Every structure is written in C-alpha cells, then in structure tokens.
Amino acid sequence: MTRRSWVTLLIWCMALGFTAWFAATHTQIETDLSRLLPEGASPTERLLLTELRTGAAGRLILIALEGADADLLAGASTQLATWMRNSGSFHYVGNGEQAWTTEERERLFQNRYVLSSGVQDVTFTRDRLRNSLELRLHDLTSPLSPMVKELIPADPSGEFMTILQAWMTWTAPARHRGVWFSSDLRRALLLAETHAAGFDMESQEHLQEQLREAFRAVAGTSPGAASVRLAMTGPGVIAVEMQKTIQDDVWRLSLCATLLVTTLLFVSYGSVSVLALSFLPLASAILAGIIAVSLVFGFIHGMTLAFGITLLGVVDDYPIHLFSHLTRESRAPAVMKEIWPTMRLGVVATALGFSALLLSGFPGLSQLGLFAMVGLFTAACVTRWLLPHVVPDGFHTRREGLRVARWVDALTRARLVVPLIVVIAIGSFIWSDTPLWEQDIANLSPISPEQKQRDQVFRHELGVPDVRDLIVVEGSSEEEALQRSEALALALDLLVRTGELAGYELAARYLPSRKTQQARQASVPDRETLERNLTSAMKGLPFKPGLFQPFLDAAGKARTQEPVDSQMFQGTSLGIKLDSLLFMHEGRWAAVVPLRGVTDRQKFRERLIPWGTQQITYLDLKEESNRMVSLYRNETLRLLGWGVLAIGLVLLAGLRAPVTVLRVMLPIGSAIVVVAASLHALGERFSLFHIASFLLVIGLGLDYALFFNRRDGTEAERGRTVYGLVVCSTTTILVFGVLALSHIPVLRAIGLTTALGSLACLVFAALLAESPKKPPLLAATSLK
C-alpha cells in the first residue's frame, strides 16, 4: 500500500466517522410502529388508522399480581394503583376501588329524569304510577329493600335503577377487600389507560419500566410480598415485548452471521486487511441510507434500519468480486475497470428492483426502498472508486478457483434439469391445496402463544374483550352523531333480541342527545297533574302520606333543567369511556359503537346496508387490517412486475444481446419459481415479506447471472469469477440461513426465502450459463 492509499483510506474513514456522528446526533430514529402505517385513502380508513394509532383500546394495560395469598395481593394492588394514579402517566387506573364516588352518584341521581330511558310519555300516568308503586312495595319486602329503600321517596318510578342497569353492560371482575380479582382469587387485577399511544414504543417502554420499578418498591416494602409477581399485557405491552424479541433475535442472529461470514472471508482470502476492507462499502452504504431516509422522511424507523441492513447484504458481493479477480500481476484499478461494466449493470438492475418498494405507498416499505437504493449506489461507488486504490498491493487470492470453475462448468451439461425442476415446481403449485397467500396478518406477529393466552385470560377476567367489530356513526356535530346513533341503537336492539348480536357499547346510552333529553323533559307532567296522578295511584297502598314530596319536587325541577352535556362526565371513569366513544375527527364528529358477539358477519353487514347512506359504517377490524395489508401486498407485487420489466430493458440496453438477457433472466425466474414452490410445499404462506425477499433474490441473482455470463478470456479469469461467485453466495446463504432459524415469522420468512433463493440462483445461473465451447475448459472438465 502506498502512502497515498493510506491517506485516502484515512480520509474516507474520517468521513465515515463524521457521517456516523452526524447520523447519530441528527437522525431521529422512530420506534412508533404506527409511523410505518399508510395514511389511509378514505376518511373512514383514516379514522380507523387514527384509532389504531392513538385509540383508547390501544392504550390499555392489563395488570395482574399473583403468587401470594389474596390479602397480600389486595394490599399490593392498592399500593400499586395509588402509585399509578399519582404518577400522572395514566388517564385512568382501575383496580376495583373508587368505582363511583358519592358525588358522581349524586350527580347521576339528580339528572335521572333526562338520563333514564324509562322516562316516557306514559311513565307518570296514574296507571303506570300505580304499577310502579306496587313494585316498590315488593322492593320493601325483598332482600333488595335496603338498596332501594332510601331511593323510594324521591324516585318511585325507579329511574335511577333503570340507569344503573342500562349502564351495567360491563361485568366487573370479582372483588376481594375492595379490589378486583380473578374468580379463583389467585390474581389481583388492574386496568389502566396510558396517556401515551399504544404504538409509541419509547414512551410505552419507559412507562412499563417505571411501573415495574414501582411494583418492586411495593413488593419490597410490604412484608411477605416478596413472592408477588407482576404480569402485564395489552397492546402497548405486547408491542414493547415484540420489539424486544425482534431486537434480541436480530442481535443474536446477526452476531452469529457476522462471525460466520468473517470466518468464511478470512478462510477465502487469508488477509485481515482485505477482510476489513470488504466491510467498507457496506458501512458506507448503511450510513448513506440512513442520511438519505432521514433527509426525505424526516426520520428513520428502527424497523427500516433493521430490514434495510438485511437488504443491503447484497452489496457485500461487490468487494468480493473485486478481490476475487485480483492476481499477482494485476493492478486493482485496472481489474476494477474490467469488471465494472458487469457490476454496474447488476447495480442498476437491482436498484430498479428495489424501486418497487419505494413506490409501494406503504411508508415503511418506501423508507426501506430508498434506504436500499441509496445504499446500493453508495456501495457500488465505494467499490468502484475507493476500494481499488486502497487494496494492498499485490494482493491476490491464493486459490485460483480452477477446480470450482471446472466443476461448475460441468454443470452446464445438465442444463435440462432446470426446465424439468421448473415444471415440477409449477405442477406442485397447481395441485397444492395450501392457500397461496397469508390472509391473516395475526399469523405474522411474533407474539408467543403464552403471551397470546395470557392476554386472552386477563381480558376475559377483566371483562375487556378485544374489539373486533365496530360501527362508526358520523355527524357534522356532536348532537347529530348522537341522534344518528340513537336511531341505530333501535335497530341494534332488535338484533340483540334475535341473538345476531350479543351487545354493543354506545355513547348515547350515557349521554343522550339533547333531542332525546328534551323529549324526556316534556313527558314529565306539571306539578298539579303529577300530584293528582300520584294521589290517585296511592289509593289503598300503605305508603305514608306525604312520603313522595321529594319526588314531586325533583320532577318539577327536571322539567326546566339544562340538558346534560359531556361536561358532566369530565374527569370520571365514564368521561374517559365517553371520550373514546365520541370524538371529533377531521372536523366531523364520530360515534364509535363497539360490538360484542356478532354471530354472522356477512349477514350483519347486509342488515346494515340500508343504513349505509346515513354515514354509518360497519368495520370488521381484523378483516379491514388484513384487507389493507393484502392491498399493499398486491400493490407491491404489481410494482415488482414493472420492476422486472424495467430490469429486462436495462439488461437489453446494457448487454445488447437478447439471448444473453434471456440467459441472465432465466435462471433468476426459474430460481424464484422453484423457491416459491419449495416454500409453498413447506407450508409457508406468502406475505409482503416474502415478496420483499424475492426482490433481494432478484438482486443477488442478477449479480450471479451477469458474472457467470461475462465474456472473459482465460480459464484462470473464469476460475476467479466463479470463485468470487461461490464466496458471494456462500456469505449470503450463511447470513440468511441463520436468519431462517429465527422463531419470529417475519425474519424466518426473509431468511428462508433469501437463503434458498441465493442457492437456487447460483446453481441455476451455473446450469444455464453459456457453455464454454472453447477447448481449454471443455478439455479440462472432460479429463476422466
């Protein structure tokens, strides 16, 4: 190495260091998963996505304390809940204490005549009052009497009880010492709603860590509580754990893969400095990718970074090609110049493939596409213009690769194997029963079965089922949305009666529209009429005279009171519930109606068709999110098709020989068909991630096929080419083979697809390469 090359290297490394520092200090690495989601095309879709991003359901944390006797657990629950309430990080903390404050009950009671659905025109007629009074007599002799006795003088028609019953749609968990417990008393239960959105990973992680710390403090201070365990679930908790699992896995597997690749490269080239240099293009590519993405998008997502580096694995091939072609006599810049046209073609074509990601319209994939493209070009440039000048002088691989080349060239005689395998592969597709596409994105989630089960158990015990079906009612004002949902409720009640629906939640149930409230006020008769009806109704019943004076007063007040608005519920647990059921979105009001127990979704959808015109939309969240992902998958697939076409055109322009283009494209096409068929036979269903991996396979395959079809002169040169290719593909297979061992479905999909794809591309490219007609090789291979 000359002095000049040392200086060049030093300058480049300093530049890299500076860029790394700049990226580290100026790049915003996002962990909020929702930033990867698309914006949504229709207002309803946007509403759904907003709900998904920031909705109340996503902000729930379900907590259980277990591992000690019930009394200890109850104490710990109270302490932990107190800490949580004081922490200011939660909208709401429920553990069974403070269900309703006295003041809240008082407020409800005072507004009973506008809030109760029992208040109708007939409610205060003589006959109906008589009926009510008789029921109150029964109440007085029943075991329930203490509960209702004190209410009777002010509320003989039982409106307060009607309200409580209507609102008791949620069955609270069992209780012990005033706090919630599982029915077997083994777990104390808490339910909290965080300020931070469920997908805001950083805040969620921080919050959950604080919570664990607070718990440890609680468990540490109370005697005997050391054995108490804390278990949490909920969207935010699962997301954090999911991220951790992915990070752990990626870290572990990357370490393993890096070790393997380093060993392989060292064995292949026997030089530490060359080994170090081979990482230069990759490092430059990653940094350039990060800078480009943050410049365009304003931030880079952690997932983009992780998957992007994976995709950039392809650039490791470039320095390998260079090193493999170096000989004792050659000079690196000259060698580079020689192989550059082939490499350049490969780079451009691969970049075209990655551009499919850029255009997908899925922010996550767009970032990935940009990252990979910029990285690809950077690595190519570094390999082309920097690396040749810093390679140690006289470096060359000791292995000439001749034996490998001969062996590989011998393969060309078995080229008929390729169409045969492709036909078998296509046949296996046609005759297979396995669904082609993964329709349920839930299957892609890395949540462990235990975690899934724990979530279900806690949800069941706390009575907060995962909402799958909901109706969105829109209106230009709060009042309009409430009125519409009230009309809808009548239809839903019918479905509940026929059993097509188990139940539903409705904002108007807690906060009736002004119209409804005014109608109820109007159905309360004036004092004179009411008194007359009451006196007549009381005739013959043993109620003390004058007992119902409080009732007459309250009814009189109700006639003229201000209708109740959402202010009344502010700061109560019910207020939080209302906020999640009724809110403003993009200048319009939306009432969300979560449904329980929809028996037949298709039928239910049909039932709601007549309502469709009134801005009432039924959403099956699971289906909706699956549909959205399928949509993006199809979009990516379509773009991939265009990408392949573009690659073909670029190759045609570069190679100028249609036959050679075919020679390059055919092995890749065959490899993809065969790999897809093998994965399919293994029971894999294809998702967006498989398609992204196929993109990478195309990139790798192009590289292999182009070099295989390089017209190089000597046998030795060919040997070096083949040697380089074998090293390239082995590194790829090692890296992605390791990834295929991951138990995270997405990583396994990428690893398996790419490892198999790389192998198939190499083998097929070798099989279909132009058979060396010139005697030297032929003679060499036919040596017995």
Partner 1 sequence: MTFGKSTNSWPLRLSALFLIWLFLPGPAPMSLAQLSPQSDGEAESPDWNVDQLIESLARNRQAEVRFEETAFSNLLTRPLKTHGILRFTPPDGLEKHITAPYDERYLVEGDRVLFEGKTKGTNRTLSLHDYPALRAFIEAFRSTLANDVGTLKRFYRVTLQGEPRQWVLMLHPLDKSVQELVTSIRFSGEREHVSSIEVLAPNGDRSVMSITKGAP
Kindly tell me which of 25 and 171 has the beta carbon lying closer to partner 1: 171
CA distance 177 to 125: 44
| Cβ proximity to partner 1, 544 vs 784, nearer residue | 544
List the x/- string, 120-149, binding to partner 1 by CB under 8 A: ---------------x-xx-xxxxxxxx-x
146 vs 612, beta carbon nearer partner 1: 146
Is there binding between residue 542 and partner 1 (CB under 8 A)? yes
Any idea what DSSP says for residue 770? Answer: P
Q: Does 151 bind partner 1 (CB under 8 A)?
A: yes
Binding test (CB under 8 A) with partner 1, winner from 1, 16, 91, 109: 109
Q: Which is nearer to partner 1, 112 or 718 (CB)?
A: 112
Burial 159-194 (b: 16+ CB within 10 A, else e): bbbbbeeeeeeeeebebbeebbbbeeeebbbbbbbb
Give the residue carrying structure tokens 């970049």: 351
Residue range at the interface with partner 1 (CB under 8 A); choices 377-385, 454-462, 538-546, 568-576: 538-546
Give, as one character, the DSSP assignment of residue 399: -
Distance (Å, whole) CA 414 – CA 416: 5
Q: How many CB atoms lie within 10 A of CB 53?
A: 17
Residue nearer to partner 1 on the CB measure, 54 or 145: 145
178 binds partner 1 (CB under 8 A): yes
Assess 714 for contact with partner 1 (CB under 8 A).
Answer: no
* Minimum gap (Å) between residue 547 Cβ and partner 1: 6
Among 4, 26, 105, 603, binds partner 1 (CB under 8 A): 105
Residue 101 Cβ vs partner 1, minimum distance, rounded to whole Å: 8
Q: What character string, x for contact with partner 1 (CB under 8 A) and - otherwise, covers 754-773?
A: --------------------
Cβ proximity to partner 1: between 105 and 638 the closer is 105
Give the residue carrying structure tokens 């490791």: 316
Please select the residue that binds partner 1; options are 181, 215, 371, 694, rule is CB under 8 A: 181
The encoded tokens of residue 113 equal: 């005549």
Instruction: Select from 100-108, 253-261, 426-434, 736-744 the region that touches partner 1 (CB under 8 A).
Output: 100-108
One residue of 106, 213, 466, 493 binding partner 1 per CB under 8 A: 106
Instruction: Output DSSP code: residue 499.
Output: T
DSSP 635-693: HHHHHHHHHHHHHHHHHHHHH--HHHHHHHHHHHHHHHHHHHHHHHHTT--B-HHHHHH
HSE toward the beta carbon, residue 149, CA cutoff 13 A = 7
Pick 191 or 747: Cβ nearer partner 1: 191
CA distance 690 to 685: 9
556 binds partner 1 (CB under 8 A): no
Least distance from C-beta 612 to partner 1, angstroms? Answer: 36
Out of 16, 185, 296, 359, the only residue in the binding site for partner 1 (CB under 8 A) is: 185
What minimum distance in Å lies between the beta carbon of 544 and partner 1? 6
Nearest C-alpha neighbor of 746 from the set 77, 32, 243 = 243
Q: Is 550 in the site for partner 1 (CB under 8 A)?
A: yes
- Select the residue interacting with partner 1 from 544, 656, 711, 773 (CB under 8 A): 544
Minimal distance in Å, beta carbon 528 to partner 1?
Answer: 24
Among 1, 20, 174, 467, binds partner 1 (CB under 8 A): 174
CA distances (Å), 690 to each of 243, 277, 374, 444, 479, in order? Answer: 20, 31, 22, 11, 48
Q: Judged by CB under 8 A, does residue 557 bind partner 1? A: no
Q: Decide: residue 318, CB within 10 A, 0-12 exposed, 13-18 middle, 19+ buried.
A: buried
Closest CB to partner 1 among residues 134, 565: 134
Any bridge partners for residue 616, and if so which?
473
- Residue 683 in the binding site for partner 1 (CB under 8 A): no
Give 596 or 622: the residue with its C-beta nearer to partner 1: 596
Based on the shown chain and the rule CB under 8 A, indicate whether residue 611 belongs to the binding site for partner 1: no
Closest CB 117 distance from partner 1, rounded Å:
16
CB of 189 to partner 1, least distance (A): 12
Of residues 72 and 219, the one with the C-beta less far from partner 1: 72
In the bound complex, what is the minimum distance in angstroms from residue 153's beta carbon to partner 1?
7
Q: Of 143 and 449, which has the nearer Cβ to partner 1?
A: 143
Give Dmax over CA atoms of the chain in angstroms. 123
Helix (H) or strand (E) run with residue 60 in it: strand 60-66
Are the C-beta atoms of residues 648 and 508 closer than 8 Å to each other? no
Q: Count the site residues for partner 1 by CB under 8 A.
A: 38
Q: CA-CA distances (angstroms) from residue 140 to 109, 223, 548, 576? A: 20, 46, 15, 36
| CA neighbours closer than 13 Å in the CB half-sphere of residue 160 | 20
Give 113-166 as a DSSP string: HHH-TT--TTTTSHHHHHHHHHHHHHHHHSTTHHHHHTTTTT-TT-HHHHHHHH
* Of the candidate residues 102, 560, 567, 613, the single one contacting partner 1 (CB under 8 A): 102
**CB burial class (10 A; 0-12, 13-18, 19+) of residue 672?**
buried
For residues 378 and 288, give the distance between their C-alpha atoms in angstroms, rounded to a whole number.
Answer: 7
Q: What residues numbered 79-98 form the site for partner 1, per CB under 8 A?
A: none
Instruction: Return d(Cα 634, Cα 639) in angstroms, integer.
Output: 9
When binding is defined by CB under 8 A, the residue of 547, 584, 653, 659 that contacts partner 1 is 547
DSSP code of 385?
I
Q: How far is the CB of 521 from partner 1 (least distance, A)?
A: 19
- Residue range at the interface with partner 1 (CB under 8 A); choices 59-67, 104-112, 492-500, 601-609: 104-112
Question: According to the binding rule CB under 8 A, does residue 498 interact with partner 1?
Answer: no
Q: Residue 299 interacts with partner 1 (CB under 8 A)? A: no
Q: Looking at 121, 127, 150, 209, which residue binds partner 1 (CB under 8 A)? A: 150
| Residue 152 lies near partner 1 (rule: CB under 8 A) | yes
Cβ 564 to partner 1 shortest distance, Å: 16
Q: Which of 46, 126, 128, 176 binds partner 1 (CB under 8 A)?
A: 176
172 binds partner 1 (CB under 8 A): yes
- Interface pattern 37-76 for partner 1 (x via CB under 8 A): ----------------------------------------
Contacting partner 1 (CB under 8 A), which of 83, 100, 299, 611? 100
DSSP secondary structure letters along 176-238:
ETTEEE-TTSSEEEEEEEESS-TT-HHHHHHHHHHHHHHHHHHHHHSTTGGG-EEEEESHHHH
The separation between CA 758 and the C-alpha centre of its own chain, rounded to angstroms, equals 29
The residue among 105 and 229 lying less far from partner 1, judged by its C-beta, is: 105
Part in contact with partner 1 (CB under 8 A); list of ranges 8-16, 40-48, 336-344, 540-548? 540-548
DSSP strand pairing (187-194 vs 174-176): unpaired
The three state secondary structure string of 556-584 is HHHHHCCCCCHHHHCCCHHHHHHHHHEEE
How do beta strands 229-233 and 60-66 pair?
Answer: antiparallel
Stretch that binds partner 1, among 171-179, 242-250, 479-487, 492-500 (CB under 8 A): 171-179
Q: How far apart are CA 142 and CA 135, in angstroms?
A: 10
Whether 181 and 51 have beta carbons less than 8 Å apart is answered as no
Q: Which residues bind partner 1 (CB under 8 A)?
A: 99-100, 102, 105-106, 109-110, 135, 137-138, 140-147, 149-154, 172, 174-178, 181, 183, 185, 542-544, 547, 550
